[in-house]
Structure 1
Amino acid sequence: MNRGANRGGLHWSRSLRFRLLAVTVAGLTVAVVLAGLVLSGLFREHVQRQFEAALVQQLDQVTARLEFDAQGQPGIAAQALSDPRWLKPYSGLYWQVDAMAPDGRGRAGVLRSRSLWDTSLTLQVDALADGAVHVHEVAGPQGAPLLVLERTVRAEGTDAARWRLIVAADLQATQAATAQFTRVLALSLAALLVLLAAAAWAQVAVGLKPLQALQRGLQDVQQARTTRLQGAYPAEMQPLVDDFNAVLARNAEVVERARTQAGNLAHALKTPLSVLENAACAPAPRDGAALAASVREQVQVARRHIDWHLARSRVAASAHLPGQRTALEPVVGGLVRVMNKVHAGRGVDITVALPDAPLFFAGEAQDLQEMLGNLLDNACKWAQSTVRLQAQVLGGQPPQMVVSVEDDGPGIGAAQRAQAVERGVRLDETVPGTGLGLAIVQDLAALYGGRLDLEPADLGGLRVVLVLPAALETA
């Protein structure tokens, strides 16, 4: 399958740039359309109110010029009206007086303006209170749309006679102005939308530019041109870059550790292999016991080195895994029973002092057994009669567990303590061992972020202080 073709085919739907632009343009489009509708409606309503207000003034003028004779018949002197459009046929401004019967029906066009010429305005029957003004839209002369205002009046001294005054004006000019405004507004908003979309595209391009720099940096790391991400990144991306560089540093550290471990193991096995090779090449002794003892000793040394490096590798892989916890008391109890059996012939008394509250090691039980087992075994080998193990927890973040193992043996001088934790160094060849015990403990503790300290003991011998990360007790 062509991965490049597949990636290109899905590029538009999986592109962050496309998603940002699509959402931005969609939001801008909705906002511009709503703004256009609102502005157009407001302009139309404003023009309509202004037009209606002007027509109310015309209706007031017609009402003021309306007079009644002795018989109660209405009359309006055309010359008394100020607007010349009243006299021009089909000028677009009209007035009319209708006689209204008590049942609401009436006779249209009793009086009308000259601008209506030979036509009259026909309105539906409308129940009007005296003096109230109603507004309608009807078709006028030549089918032109008209805005109509009507009002009823009564002649003085008569209760039954009611007259409807009508004033109408052509809406075509108003509608044309509204349409022109809507067209100009639509073109303006469309141009604004294009400019905003271009600005959004520029914003997205500038905002995503650091991602391109990050991609180039990753390619440089992948192609081994650099070992970490270089350059300055925005504040929002810098934590990601720092974390990625930390991962790269961690991987480099693991690789270097593995390379060092392999070299150390190879170097450590050279001595026993050379001894075995020399023993094999030497003339066969008459008594094979010495050869067998030498072979067993070198095999034990080689196995000890291998176990040590395997333990380091295991701890290096699991030391920083979250959620690990091992109870201290069961591990110490098991080791004390083992040491009492192994060193039963020497009569060493092992005392343990643990706090009442349970202590937990933030790591694997096998690693804790490896470290404490080496310390107890080493203390029992050198002790004259007493070995003491104590433990406590130090507060802080993160919390730490301190385990001390001391004996009443000869102890170690201050100048020799640094040598005691070196691999393969044995300060006294008369005591069996490989010289790896304290070195193993120190390396394992370091992998967990702890440490190993050697101090003079109150019992007179050596006190080994092991500091390890502690795990909090769960509820």
Structure 2
Amino acid sequence: MSRPAWARFSLRARLLVLTLLGVAAALLLAHGVLSNLFREEVQRQVAQGLQAQLDLLTTRLEPDAQGQLDLKGQNPADPRWQQPYGGLYWQVDLPQRPAAWRSRSLWDSQLNLPPDQLGSTELHQHLLSGPQGEPLLVLERRVQWPEQGSARLAVAADLRDSHTAVARFERVLGWSLLVLLAVLLLAAWAQVRLGLAPLAELQRALAALRQGQQPRLQGHYPAEVQPLVDDFNGVLAHNEAVLERARTQAGNLAHALKTPLSVLAQAAQAASPSAPGLPELVQEQVAQAQRQVDWHLARARAAAAHSVQRTAVLPQLQALVRTLARLHPDKTLSLPTSPQSQALHFAGETQDLLEMAGNVLDNACRWARQQVRVQASITAQGLLTLCVDDDGPGVPLERRAQVLRRGERLDEAQPGHGLGLAIVQDLAALYGGTLQLQDSPLGGLRVLLTLPSTPGAAGPQNPAQPSGLAQEPGPASR
């Protein structure tokens, strides 16, 4: 599946493009808003001037001695009112006499006012074409007299100068905003360059790490990048510990297989195939070698586990109880549950939980007289606790350390279900848990297994040589 085109761009290019688009859109919007405000303000100023002239024209229109409307007073002082097509115009329409009076600037033309229903003294505003086709802003009102009737008064101004001013403002504003855009893009480029500088430093540190120049990522990074660096260094440390344990496991396994292989080689050289006792010797040494392989394979798999899986505890315990009940029909296995039991989880692989719990339960069943009880709960610290009690002979206090001690055997029992309490202790230690032996209220032994319930509740331990790793394993039997 091909990557989208945008995914090929670098972070620097993405940030700069997004900044360019965002700033350009904002400046275009600002240009439009400011230009419109300036245009409206210019038109408002022109309209205010025209309204003052319209008021002046209204005061000049009065009835004469014969009761007829007449214009009195002097014309406005602005020379544009007198200059033909000077840009300022006024006109008075009577009901029967359109353009009865008009400014000299209209010359031989008149304002073509649109049909409009004006109330008395009501002010209307229009945009029309002037005598020479120029744009005009027209203000008009109707004045009413009781006897003389009404008159329609209008004043107009040429908007070409206003449009020129607006165009000049928009041009200057456009160039100013372009300069601002360039300055902002330069600032954005500097910001992106400085902001991404730690990533370039991180890249150099990774290159040095890959070339073997340093064992960890070195340097000081911003608060947003430092957690990533710390986590990466943590992964490196974990991988180093796993590699070291794998090397140790390989050496231990090779050392552990030396003895049975040497015995087999000497027996093959010293005796004929028909010699008495050779088959038994071969079976014994092969079984011992198989136990060594099982032990070290399980330890290697568990040592490499750094899982964030969550395994439901209750279904696994129920399956183990059903299986062991068939293997030990003369024993009574009980698994008290509660509504909270469904929420119990183990922060690790299902197989590891089965190996630890299965071995402890099988050990309890083999030594119990009649009753075995297993309980699961969560502590206040968020840890999973598996408590297995039996009514067997128990283990004396002075011998409990020997049961869990590396390389110690209390008997030569054949391997049963699981890998022994020593490997259970090692598996639990790798998950940050513990294994404890106590007196059981049933009269026998209590095995208390504490494990993480959620990822991070108890971190995996990374000792260079966990207990039970270097010596020959034997079932930790009582």
After TM superposition, is the score higher than 0.5?
yes
Letter in 2 for 1:331: L
Contact 1:361/1:468 (8 A) holds in 2: no
Q: Is the CA contact 1:135–1:149 (under 8 Å) kept in the aligned structure 2? A: yes
1:163 alignment partner AA: A
- Which of the numbers 107, 110, 113 marks the counterpart of 2:98? 107
Decide whether aligned partners of structure 1 residues 354 and 268 sit closer, same or farther in structure 2, where only a CA change above 3 A counts. same
Encode CA deviations 1:39-97: one digit per residue, 9 max, x unaligned: 11111111211211111111111221234434444443564644444344443323333
1:181 paired to 2:169:
yes
- The equivalent residue for 1:202 is 190
With over 3 angstroms needed to count, the CA separation of the structure-2 counterparts of 1:418 and 1:233, relative to structure 1, is: same
* CA distance in 1: counterparts of 2:156 and 2:310, whole angstroms: 87
Give deviations 1:414-459, integer Å, cap 9, x for gaps.
Answer: 3x5444434443346xx5569x834333223334443333456789
SS at match of 2:121: coil
TM-score scaled by length of structure 2? 0.77
1:94 pairs with one of 85, 89, 94 = 89
Cα 1:407–1:63 shift into 2, 3 Å: same
Contact 2:360/2:447 (<8 A) preserved: no
**Whole-Å Cα distance in 1 between the matches of residues 22 and 47 of structure 2?**
37
2:336 matched residue in structure 1: 355
Q: Does 1:467 align with 2:449?
A: yes
Q: Measure the CA separation in 1 of the matches of 2:148 and 2:13.
A: 79
Amino acid corresponding to residue 179 of structure 2 in structure 1: A
Query: SS where residue 94 of structure 1 aligns?
Result: strand
Shift of 1:337: 5.0
2:470 corresponding residue in structure 1: none
Cα distance, 1:273 vs structure 2? 2.0
Check conservation: 1:65, 1:80, Cα contact below 8 A: no
Structure 1 residue 271: Cα displacement:
1.7
Task: Please tell me whether residue 60 in structure 1 is matched to residue 47 in structure 2.
Answer: no
Shift of 1:467: 0.2
Query: 2:279 matched to 1:279?
Result: no
- Report how many aligned residue pairs link the two structures: 443
- Structure-2 separation of matches of 1:18 and 1:286: 78
Shift of 1:34: 1.6
Per the alignment, residue 388 of structure 2 pairs with: 403
Does structure 1 conserve the Cα–Cα contact (< 8 Å) formed by 2:209 and 2:217? Answer: yes
Q: Quote the residue 2:21 is aligned against.
A: 26
1:35 CA displacement: 1.6
Give the TM-score, by structure 1 length. Answer: 0.77
Aligned to 1:444: 427
Structure 2 residues not aligned, in runs of 5+: 455-478
Instruction: Quote how far apart the aligned CAs of 1:129 are.
Output: 3.4
Which of 290, 293, 296 matches 1:306? Answer: 293
Note the residue ranges of structure 1 that are not aligned, 5 or more in a row: 1-5, 341-348
Q: Map 1:191-340 onto structure 2 (within 5 A).
A: 191-282=179-270, 284=271, 288-316=275-303, 320=307, 322-325=309-312, 326-332=315-321, 334-335=323-324, 338=327
Distance 1:132 1:338, change over 3 A: closer
In structure 1, the residue matched to 2:436 is 453
User: Which residue does the alignment assign to 1:346?
Assistant: none
Compute the RMSD of aligned alpha carbons: 3.9
Distance in structure 2 (CA, Å) of the matches to 1:457 and 1:133: 104
Match of 2:123 among 133, 143, 163: 133
SS of 1:327's equivalent in the other structure is: helix
1:389 Cα deviation after fit: 3.6
Looking at structure 1, the residues matched to 413 and 69 of structure 2 have their Cα atoms a distance apart, in angstroms, of 140
| 1:454–1:464 Cα contact (<8 Å) kept | yes
Q: Which has the larger radius of gyration?
A: 1
* Residues 389 and 404, structure 1, Cα contact 8 Å, conserved in 2: yes
SS of 2:157 mapped into structure 1: strand
What amino acid does structure 1 have at the position aligned with 2:447? V
Of 58-67 and 143-152, more deviation after overlay is shown by: 143-152
Moved more, 313-322 or 218-227: 313-322
